[in-house]
């Protein structure tokens, strides 16, 4: 009898099929672009996930701090960074502008910018005066403000005199200052070759940002965190000096007995108190990145109430997720944020112009900078009350 193949036909009816939708798209935060001097390598952005990749791509430069900053980033839990080699044949301002233009190719893949060689006294830039440093750091702040979704980590000048850094901070404070933070003093730490020397803090601090974002999110203040790989500081500031500098917007690093060297501040260089906290500025910048990336799919949709409802639904879901993770303050979502996209925000003239206007309000959480402890002396003894 010949072999026969029997194909079983499906029985008509209701069929069950398990469908697993793809996970919601997301993006990393705490991803810095390092701009600086290197012995060799391309001048286009290079993506690094491990310290040895830097050595393979760029070699080493005895007088620069780029390699040290990248190593400090990975030593402190940094996950991913991009590196752009500065063109030393150009004047420092032109070289910095060219490197920042090269970052445009990364679009929104970067949210931090560090340029540790800007504070080098020699040989680049040749003039290590405060005015030269300020001019270059202002370029970084302006770049971040123009983008709206990047934040600059700036280094204090290498000095043991806090008054010099106070002047540096005052000169950088302003509208652009909301998009950057200043860190001081320099670190006595292992460099790229394992030897101890004084290093600008921005690379190590960028690692602290990255590690905090991975563990908690952008709402985690990058402060009161141990800075790994640091033996000591260029100057150990007294508590009074730390308080004075912090009140003016300088984020200090402190060597605390038994607790290591820690980042001791999370303030921007903003003149507006609303943007004083690093967490508030970075959270709003992150929301902007999300809107730009994930709402692009709504372009060219019919501009009517159905589109408005969809925008409100997607934005509300995203902001509610931030609220649930503790990024927004308030007892309820209604207290933490609002989204408005309706006939009021989109009158006929706006709709006719092909524009959709959505109003968003958020209440970022603020870090607890001070803990008040009351010591009460009474007939029954002493009572300590932490408020």
CATH of the domain at 39: 3.40.50.11780
Asked whether residue 39 falls in the same domain as residue 119, the answer is yes
Region 83-89: mean pLDDT is: 92
Asked whether residue 194 falls in the same domain as residue 240, the answer is yes
In this prediction, residue 22 carries a pLDDT of 45
Read off the pLDDT of residues 89-122 as tens digits, 9 standing for 90 and up: 898 999 999 999 999 999 889 999 999 999 875 4
In this prediction, residue 254 carries a pLDDT of 95
With 0.95 as the threshold, say if the pTM is over it.
no
Per-residue confidence band for 370, with pLDDT thresholds at 50, 70 and 90: low
In this prediction, residue 387 carries a pLDDT of 39
Assess whether pLDDT exceeds 50 at residue 25: no
And the tokens for 110?
Answer: 């970067």
Per-residue confidence band for 192, with pLDDT thresholds at 50, 70 and 90: confident
Asked whether residue 81 falls in the same domain as residue 168, the answer is yes
As for how many domains the chain has, the answer is 2
Asked whether residue 171 falls in the same domain as residue 223, the answer is yes
Asked whether residue 387 falls in the same domain as residue 325, the answer is yes
Instruction: Quote the domain boundaries for residue 367.
Output: 295-387
- Determine, yes or no, domain membership for 354: yes
In this prediction, residue 367 carries a pLDDT of 81
Asked whether residue 95 falls in the same domain as residue 241, the answer is yes
Picking from 92, 81, 91, the residue whose alpha carbon sits closest to that of residue 114 is 81
Read off the pLDDT of residues 120-144 as tens digits, 9 standing for 90 and up: 754 455 455 788 899 999 999 999 9
Per-residue confidence band for 371, with pLDDT thresholds at 50, 70 and 90: low
In this prediction, residue 372 carries a pLDDT of 60
In this prediction, residue 16 carries a pLDDT of 65
- Determine, yes or no, domain membership for 225: yes
- Determine, yes or no, domain membership for 63: yes
In this prediction, residue 295 carries a pLDDT of 83
In this prediction, residue 42 carries a pLDDT of 85
Assess whether pLDDT exceeds 50 at residue 155: yes
Read off the pLDDT of residues 31-61 as tens digits, 9 standing for 90 and up: 999 999 988 888 899 999 999 999 899 986 6
Of 280, 306, 327, the residue at which a domain comes to its end is: 280
Read off the pLDDT of residues 281-304 as tens digits, 9 standing for 90 and up: 999 999 999 998 888 888 888 999
Asked whether residue 58 falls in the same domain as residue 175, the answer is yes
Asked whether residue 59 falls in the same domain as residue 102, the answer is yes
In this prediction, residue 11 carries a pLDDT of 59
Asked whether residue 235 falls in the same domain as residue 321, the answer is no
In this prediction, residue 107 carries a pLDDT of 87
Residue 106's alpha-carbon distances to 4, 84, 109, 161, 306, in angstroms, are 60, 11, 5, 38, 33
Region 357-382: mean pLDDT is: 76
Region 332-339: mean pLDDT is: 95
Of 227, 250, 280, the residue at which a domain comes to its end is: 280
Per-residue confidence band for 21, with pLDDT thresholds at 50, 70 and 90: very low
- Determine, yes or no, domain membership for 226: yes
């Amino acid at each position: 009898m010949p072999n026969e193949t029997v194909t079983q036909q499906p029985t008509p009816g209701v069929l069950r099929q398990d469908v697993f939708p793809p996970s919601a798209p997301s993006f990393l935060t705490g991803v810095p672009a390092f701009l600086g001097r290197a012995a060799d390598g391309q001048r286009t952005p290079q993506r690094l996930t491990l310290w040895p990749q830097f050595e393979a791509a760029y070699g080493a430069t005895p007088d620069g701090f780029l390699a040290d900053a990248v190593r400090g980033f990975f030593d402190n839990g940094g996950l991913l960074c991009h590196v752009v080699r500065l063109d030393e044949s150009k004047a420092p301002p032109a070289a910095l502008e060219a490197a920042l233009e090269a970052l445009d190719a990364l679009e929104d893949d970067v949210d931090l910018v560090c340029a540790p060689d800007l504070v080098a006294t020699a040989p680049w830039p040749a003039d290590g005066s405060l005015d030269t440093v300020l001019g270059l750091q202002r370029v970084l702040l302006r770049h971040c403000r123009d983008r709206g979704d990047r934040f600059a980590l700036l280094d204090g000048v290498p000095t043991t005199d806090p008054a010099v850094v106070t002047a540096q901070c005052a000169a950088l404070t302003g509208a652009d200052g909301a998009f950057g933070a200043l860190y001081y003093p320099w670190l006595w730490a292992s460099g790229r070759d394992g030897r101890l020397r004084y290093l600008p803090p921005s690379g190590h601090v960028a690692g602290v940002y990255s590690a905090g974002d991975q563990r908690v999110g952008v709402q985690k203040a990058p402060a009161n965190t141990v800075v790994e790989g640091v033996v000591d500081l260029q100057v150990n500031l007294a508590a009074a000096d730390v308080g004075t500098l912090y009140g003016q917007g300088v984020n200090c690093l402190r060597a605390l007995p038994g607790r290591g060297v820690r980042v001791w501040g999370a303030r921007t260089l903003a003149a507006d108190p609303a943007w004083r906290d690093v967490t508030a500025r970075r959270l709003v910048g992150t929301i902007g990145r999300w809107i730009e990336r994930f709402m692009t799919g709504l372009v060219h949709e019919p501009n009517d109430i159905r589109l408005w409802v969809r925008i409100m639904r997607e934005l509300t879901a995203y902001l509610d997720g931030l609220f649930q993770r503790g990024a927004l303050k308030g007892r309820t979502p209604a207290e933490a944020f609002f989204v408005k996209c309706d006939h009021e925000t989109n009158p006929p003239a706006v709709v006719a112009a092909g524009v959709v206007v959505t109003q968003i309000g958020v209440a970022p959480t603020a870090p607890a900078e001070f803990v008040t402890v009351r010591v009460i002396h009474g007939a029954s003894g002493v009572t300590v009350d932490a408020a």
